[in-house]
A and B are shown apart, each in its own frame.
Chain A
């Protein structure tokens, strides 16, 4: 990567007033965004925010209700075949072909892209190696672990050497080891210059992988920027957590009048934009129970913007 040389980033995907309606339900509500070539771009949001629908419009699965969506200079409504041939899709659900082995899944998929047999075999070899699935090449899909299935879905998404990789919740349901393995692979693909679009509701995932992201809720974009900028803008540097106590709240409100204080079931969260160290000196004077100071993270931003209400 040539850091700091992104003077005029090339726009690879451009959405303007993009909207999608299912019957009366407005799943995506007139959104605008640009994805630049070579970046990892994230869609964040609670369930039902419209992330997957947006991704499915990018790979020409769902037709648009209105607006404009241009991928690599082509209109999705006019050139779906051309667009799909340069995109790799790793969907949220496991749709590997259970009638085939690991290797056959890649070879059969390659055929849909008109990749010649010998070339497909070569690429399948490389991908199985890259995703550490060589030992499982002759195994039927049913016998794979969840993590191996995920990696095979990623491998399959790369069989056509895509310029754009769409990852819809790539690590949902994985254990921490498998998740980190997938993250490493995604980062390594980004280094190779693949433009990556990712949806997730794991904030650490977005923070670890995305150059830029946008947060969606109820079909609308409510914020966008780099993870660091969003944390800086909405939360500040540090967060103080203390055990719930009525007296402490009063003291906190006096000491930090400009500060947001949020209560969950048994904890009080204090967010401030005041410089580093204010909480530490506060705790010296008022040693609150269960107090911890931690760095602000993307999850704080997300919960601030989308609320703590449960989405189903």
Chain B
């Protein structure tokens, strides 16, 4: 196969039908079987962060961009929960289903196609983003940290963001030789994003070069910008760029991840 052919093949548009929701439904049913365990981490983690960083560290920090420190980090915690929920679902979760449980093989023997299996996984990863971030949003609301009625759009936005991180995650899953491999994207991609995406301090404090890298390569930067806008209500023109970044990157990786997985599963 020529180089140009193989590049074209990984960007080929998949043919999808509503059957992808049958795969989504399988994951939803499995999730609901153990929902108690599944709901606790996203419930407690942000509480600890709000207490430690918001109240603790926050009492030593001057207001940022006109809001208290705890108000500054609250939207970031919501954004991080979108990223974690979807990224880990479509790395560790999908890998276990693909590699150890052979769930994908079992489904591909039915009228559901391999493309729909992966698309269903991505849709489920996006749903995890919605579930986790909605829990965090509820806690942030209880703490009285929401100051705009635009917050109502957060779950919808979380689906889009979740789809993006799921697709990125699925690309790693497609090339992962074993489950330990996910440590690499974990500390080379997720951890830097967690810390350097304008989450716990404004991006503008950082050197210009790091700012540029964060804006070009770290999706969470744009997610944090937009979530902060929705929670605090300060809508600026720059948010449009962040939104454009996400809606351009998401479909590219959505298609890429499906084709990479197809190449891995079907020889």
| Interface, chain A (partner B; CB < 8 A) | 22, 59, 61-63, 80-82, 84-85, 87, 89, 91, 93-100, 104, 108-109, 111-114, 160
Contacts and interface: CB of A to CB of B under 8 A. Distances in A.
Contacts of A108: 26, 29
Given A93-B102, A97-B106, A100-B29, A84 B111 contact: yes
Interface of B: 19, 22, 25-26, 29-30, 33, 101-103, 105-113, 266-267
Given A22-B267, A98-B101, A61 B108 contact: yes
B29 A84 contact: no
A91 B266 CA distance: 16
B101 A62 contact: no
Which 7 A-B pairs rank lowest in CB-CB distance, beginning with the nearest? A95-B102, A112-B110, A99-B30, A89-B109, A95-B106, A81-B111, A85-B111
A interface secondary structure, majority: loop
A84 B109 contact: yes
A87 B109 CA distance: 8
A111 B109 contact: no
B266 A113 contact: no
Contact of B110 (A22, A94, A96, A113): A113
A93 B102 CA distance: 9
A102 to B, nearest CB: 14
B34 to A, nearest CB: 8
B52 to A, nearest CB: 34
B105 A91 contact: yes
A84 B266 CA distance: 16
A109 B105 CA distance: 12
B30 A112 contact: no
B107 to A, nearest CB: 6
Contacts, number: 63
B103 A63 contact: no
Given A22-B267, A81-B111, A84-B110, A95 B25 contact: no
Nearest to A22: B267
Nearest to A86: B111
A113 B102 contact: no
6 contacts: A62-B266, A91-B102, A99-B101, A111-B22, A112-B111, A112-B112
Contacts of B108: 61
A114 B111 contact: yes
Among B107, B109, B266, which residue has the most Cβ atoms of chain A within 10 A? B109
Contacts of B109: 59, 61, 84, 87, 89, 91
Contacts of B111: 81-82, 84-85, 112-114
A109 B106 contact: yes
Nearest to A89: B109
Among B105, B110, B267, which residue has the most Cβ atoms of chain A within 10 A? B110
Contacts of A84: 109-111
Contacts of A89: 109
B113 A95 contact: no
A50 to B, nearest CB: 14
Contacts of A104: 29
A99 B33 contact: yes
Contacts of A100: 29-30, 33
A2 B105 CA distance: 37
Contacts of B103: 95, 97
